[in-house]
Structure 1
Amino acid sequence: MSGLGAILRQRLRRDWRQLLIWTIGTALLAYLAYVGVAQSYGTEQDRASLLAAAIANPVILLFRGLPSGPDQGAFMLFLIFPWLAFLAALMSTFLAVRHTRMDEELGRAELVAATPAGRTTPLIATIIHGLIANAVLAALTILALLGTGSGAQGAVVSGVAVGAVGVSFLGVGLVAGQLMRTSRAANSLAVWVVLITFLFSGIGNALGSPSADLQRMESSWLAWLSPFGWGENVRPYADDELWPIALCLAVGVVLGAISVVLQSGRDLGQSFIAERRGRADATRALGSPTALVRRLSTGALIGWAIGGLLTGMLSTALASVVSSISGDNPAVEQILVALGGNADLARATVAVFFTLLGVLAGCCAVQVVIRARQEEASGTAEPLLSTPIGRVRWLGDYLLVALVGIVLVVAAAIAGAALGIASQRGDWSLMRDVAVVGGGQGVAASVFLALTALVFVLAPRATIAVGWGLVALATIVGLFGPLFGFPSWLVDLAPIAVTPQVTTDTGIDLRGFWWLVAVAIAGAAASLALMRRRELAPAG
């Protein structure tokens, strides 16, 4: 195939830094998870007790894997496998969209199509590129697990399962790039598929059938609608089933083939799902640069607000269920104290869910700033900045809309929490916890906003990778650090881990509230000040 090798080499040279971060980060998470389990749950009795608590508590199973026994390796994969697969899924979808739809948007695909390589060769190169990336991720994960001294067979099966899930979502990203008209829409579609299937797997596990000794869970049918569920049912270090891996790979191959067929049936630059037609004339509501940014970001804000609403509903609805669980089981108390920082089951449940809310609100803010980078890279920001609107005002509008997005996500979660209490006739006193923890997570999300804006000004071409990387790293450290025994100073670096909490009916522990506020204000101010002298940076 003419030019395939050259295109593939160019892709690998262009992406090696990003792929290195994704692959090494995933492998490092696997290594730290195993070390943390060995330190925190060193005996089989400890692990068996915690598994029994997890199977009895649907909140824990929503964000963990599939219980497969108290063996150290199987227990570690129960805690961490969904998140290893989640990182592989995001890496794969972003890679697929970047080299398909985004290259078409920026005009690169048209230039390549004019050479003997034609239109299909770049897509084939993207498929091979994605397969190589997932193979490297699988290999590094295997090496990380072997480095802990765990069983060789379990380590190999674990790494291959994670990579296989990534291949499935590589196919999702390839198809999304064919269906949607813009890279932003394609990424949004792919990420929503990742999130929904992740939720399907968690709920499917929580609704599964436990064994009599509460050490193993059989997934319900819902988990089998998700590649995450397929990967978890490999059960590394326990059953080492290989056919779910084959299922993941088969889906990835089929979706890749579908993407090739779809591309053959459309014109370059077109899509199968057309963008909504715009108005011939702008309304008065679109009479300012701030309104333009708001218009460009409306879809993202609505999507993240819906996520906040569902998170809030689950937090209090499940808190009512968890409150009925006996607090006499020390393993229940142990894991909830580790995850939520509160021995009260209902309050700990709210804290865990609202930690995830901080991640959602942070993602909303990061996506709005990334939109500014995409406008700059595509050249659409330049005509706007040629008017009396200055660079500082332009960036300030994005910061303002992102801040409004954070407020909307948090407000939706608080409203959802009220609906959850009402649906279960629960304890309305939890609304105080909801307000305090929700407000604190909004401040934490503002830190992600300020830091991403600072990166956008100082290193614009790194905005997308660093912005999402900051959220991912904070999620790993803040959500898993206490469970895996990470040093407290490291956990405290994650904004979502140091937000205020209600300690008693009248007491509030502010924790890191003031340094979060200081970082958010200082970062935003610095980004605006430095933007004054920063030149526009084209796509790189």
Structure 2
Amino acid sequence: MTAVADTRVSPRTRGSAKDLAGTGTLLRLALRRDRIMMPVWVVCLGLTASSTTGRLKSAYDTPKARADLVVDMNGNGSTRALFGAAFDDSLGALTVWRVGGFLTVFAAIMSLLIVIRHTREEEETGRQEALSACMVGRRAGLTSALLAVGIANAAVTVLIAGSLAGQGGTGALALGLSVGLTGMAFGGLAAVAAQLTENARLARGLTSAAVGIAFVLRMAGDAAEDGSQGSGHLLVWLSPLGWAEYARPFADERWWPLLLIAVLAAASTALAYSLVGRRDVGASFYATRPGARAAGAGLKGVYGLGWRLHRGALLGWSAGFVFTGAIFGAISNGADEFLGDSDQTREIIQRMGGAQGLTDAFLASMVGILGTTLTVYTASAVLRLRSEETDQRAEPLLANAVSRLRWGGSHLVFAYLGPVVVLAVGGLALGVGYGVAADDMGGIPRAVGAALAQAPALWVVTSAAVFLVGVVPKYTAAAWAVVGWVVTLSWLGPALKMPQSVMDTSPFTHLPKLPGDDVTAAPFLWSLLISVVLTAGGLVGLRRRDIGG
């Protein structure tokens, strides 16, 4: 009998070179596909720190002004929650205080998007299976994705360290490493999520939720205790973003918290490598459960199907906004207790939340953060249209008595009305959190109204995504560029004192800063008009173009 060679990969050879075959080719492909997105992320993150230093130097040009600023900031839980603790009054330390926390968050978001794009999304579209039929190893896709994200974070680290070297080489290196390692840690967590889930949307959602939880833990811990002295608060230590903060760049650096981040990155990466070798390409550890043999009453229509597809994201975002809104509301109480006489602090808060009293300004800044963050949900809801199309799940529907507009409407109803629900519950939680802390529940309607007032600006971003899907479907990834720009302007624009002409490119800039600001109908009407025009153009394009084109 002729012997037949056993071609199965044994456990002993899973880590061999065969598993990594084709990694270099896939890495070059990933870098080519991200040749625009990745450099934009790197440059924006890398130059934010240096531009902040220049603006702080001009705004607080004396040692006394900087020392007073640190005392003011560390004396108030509301501003500690937003920016973190200030550990020193040098320009480098103040730069870390102002934008360091935001840089780590954006590095985490950049990393999770890159990893999911080149792992689970490749499997979901079937491209990874086609590549696996060639000389491509089992772990080559994961390795190339992690190498790509490693290159991006290394570039961010070098750019931050180089741009701030004039303020102190050791502190600049510590800040660069804290940002880069945080990005790698969440990139590793995204790689794990890509193994556990069956679709890229859920993997992005889980990893984004991890970033959100880490951010809220850091905020709650800093609000509860001034971490500039002593060992810090337990909640901050539970967050990888807190580890980056407690590395204390430019303030007697601590290197061992960075080791914690590196251990998390290595452990999550190792877990992802272990999991990828234990499943089939395209499969996951938690696959979608098979449905019933017959559709229920709720699934006997295109809108019922839309609810089934979007309900998980809607419920998840609602739950997250309830938790986050309650935290934001609680820390908003007493925002003016210590800062009423501080012109510097008043300027910072009012630049984000308006010229009204500090409490209302802080609440308005929190509402703005909630509103701009929700653009991620609206964009993903609209882009679900495109994914249904490219995954060839739309054609069977359209082959029946379902028009394109009905099919599109079954998704867009959740893209437009879903944020209203999330804003309402988030505003309610914000009002309740503030009311419990202040022992006054009378402000709940104002908080809910302020949150709902963000909807027209959200709809502009939603409509921009609809226009891209309908008219230029091959460039729908630009919707994420719009989301990133809007979020960056909201979170970093006021801190960096960006020109008003730049800030005006965000639809959120034109809305009144509520609660507390004067309300006029014009900005709402203009936002609605722009939204209607973009949506109409997108739907016309959807009706006329080829499906799957």
**Separation of aligned partners in 1, 2:179 and 2:186:** 11
Q: Who is 1:164 aligned against?
A: 181
1:355-434 alignment, distance < 5 Å: 355-424=368-437, 426-434=439-447
- Displacement of 1:220 in angstroms is 1.3
1:109 paired with 2:122, answer no
Residue 313 of structure 1 aligns to a residue in which SS?
helix
Structure 1 residues 450 and 256 mapped into 2: Cα distance closer, same or farther (>3 Å)? same
2:86 to 64, 67, 70: 67
**Separation of aligned partners in 1, 2:260 and 2:227:** 24
- Displacement of 1:61 in angstroms is 1.9
1:310 paired with 2:327, answer no
**Separation of aligned partners in 1, 2:261 and 2:44:** 22
- Displacement of 1:496 in angstroms is 2.4
* Conserved 8 A contact 2:381-2:411: yes
* Conserved 8 A contact 2:174-2:249: yes
1:187-226 alignment, distance < 5 Å: 187-210=204-227, 218-226=231-239
AA aligned opposite 1:336: I
- Displacement of 1:99 in angstroms is 2.0
Q: Who is 2:483 aligned against?
A: 471
**Separation of aligned partners in 1, 2:375 and 2:237:** 30
**Separation of aligned partners in 2, 1:144 and 1:391:** 51
Structure 1 residues 341 and 435 mapped into 2: Cα distance closer, same or farther (>3 Å)? same
1:39 to 46, 53, 58: 58
Q: Who is 2:277 aligned against?
A: 264
1:244 to 239, 257, 263: 257
**Separation of aligned partners in 2, 1:98 and 1:210:** 37
Residue 327 of structure 2 aligns to a residue in which SS?
helix
Query: CA offsets, 1:444-473, max 9 Å, x none?
Result: 111111111122233324324x32332222
* Conserved 8 A contact 1:112-1:119: no
AA aligned opposite 2:102: W
1:68-107 alignment, distance < 5 Å: 68-107=87-126
Q: Who is 1:524 aligned against?
A: 535
Residue 137 of structure 2 aligns to a residue in which SS?
coil
- Displacement of 1:425 in angstroms is 5.4
Residue 333 of structure 2 aligns to a residue in which SS?
helix
1:132 paired with 2:151, answer yes
AA aligned opposite 1:162: V
Query: CA offsets, 1:475-502, max 9 Å, x none?
Result: 2223332332222222232222332245
- Displacement of 1:368 in angstroms is 0.3
1:452 to 465, 472, 483: 465
Q: Who is 2:199 aligned against?
A: 182
Residue 379 of structure 2 aligns to a residue in which SS?
helix
Structure 1 residues 488 and 43 mapped into 2: Cα distance closer, same or farther (>3 Å)? farther
Deviates more, 1:266-275 or 1:308-317: 308-317
Residue 322 of structure 1 aligns to a residue in which SS?
coil
Which consecutive residues of structure 2, in runs of 5 or more, have no partner in the other structure? Answer: 1-16
- Displacement of 1:73 in angstroms is 1.1
- Displacement of 1:113 in angstroms is 2.5
Structure 1 residues 145 and 510 mapped into 2: Cα distance closer, same or farther (>3 Å)? farther
1:486 paired with 2:505, answer no
Structure 1 residues 377 and 46 mapped into 2: Cα distance closer, same or farther (>3 Å)? farther
Residue 308 of structure 2 aligns to a residue in which SS?
helix
AA aligned opposite 2:106: L
Structure 1 residues 499 and 314 mapped into 2: Cα distance closer, same or farther (>3 Å)? farther
Structure 1 residues 123 and 43 mapped into 2: Cα distance closer, same or farther (>3 Å)? same
1:515 paired with 2:503, answer no
1:253 paired with 2:270, answer no
* Conserved 8 A contact 1:65-1:77: no
1:290 paired with 2:303, answer yes
Deviates more, 1:522-531 or 1:294-303: 522-531
* Conserved 8 A contact 2:356-2:516: no
**Separation of aligned partners in 2, 1:421 and 1:201:** 19
Structure 1 residues 448 and 153 mapped into 2: Cα distance closer, same or farther (>3 Å)? same
**Separation of aligned partners in 2, 1:499 and 1:396:** 27
Deviates more, 1:240-249 or 1:262-271: 240-249
* Conserved 8 A contact 2:427-2:450: no
Structure 1 residues 380 and 224 mapped into 2: Cα distance closer, same or farther (>3 Å)? same
- Displacement of 1:71 in angstroms is 0.6
Aligned residues: 530
Q: Who is 2:286 aligned against?
A: 273
* Conserved 8 A contact 2:427-2:449: no
Query: CA offsets, 1:184-240, max 9 Å, x none?
Result: 1111111111111122222222333455xxxx6753122222221122222222223
The root-mean-square deviation of aligned C-alpha atoms, in Å, is: 2.5
- Displacement of 1:256 in angstroms is 1.1
- Displacement of 1:326 in angstroms is 6.0
AA aligned opposite 1:9: R
AA aligned opposite 1:23: V
- Displacement of 1:509 in angstroms is 5.1
**Separation of aligned partners in 1, 2:302 and 2:325:** 33
**Separation of aligned partners in 2, 1:485 and 1:492:** 13
- Displacement of 1:510 in angstroms is 5.5
Deviates more, 1:80-89 or 1:310-319: 310-319
Which consecutive residues of structure 1, in runs of 5 or more, have no partner in the other structure? Answer: none
**Separation of aligned partners in 2, 1:187 and 1:473:** 19
- Displacement of 1:429 in angstroms is 4.5
- Displacement of 1:315 in angstroms is 4.1
- Displacement of 1:439 in angstroms is 2.5
**Separation of aligned partners in 2, 1:319 and 1:5:** 50
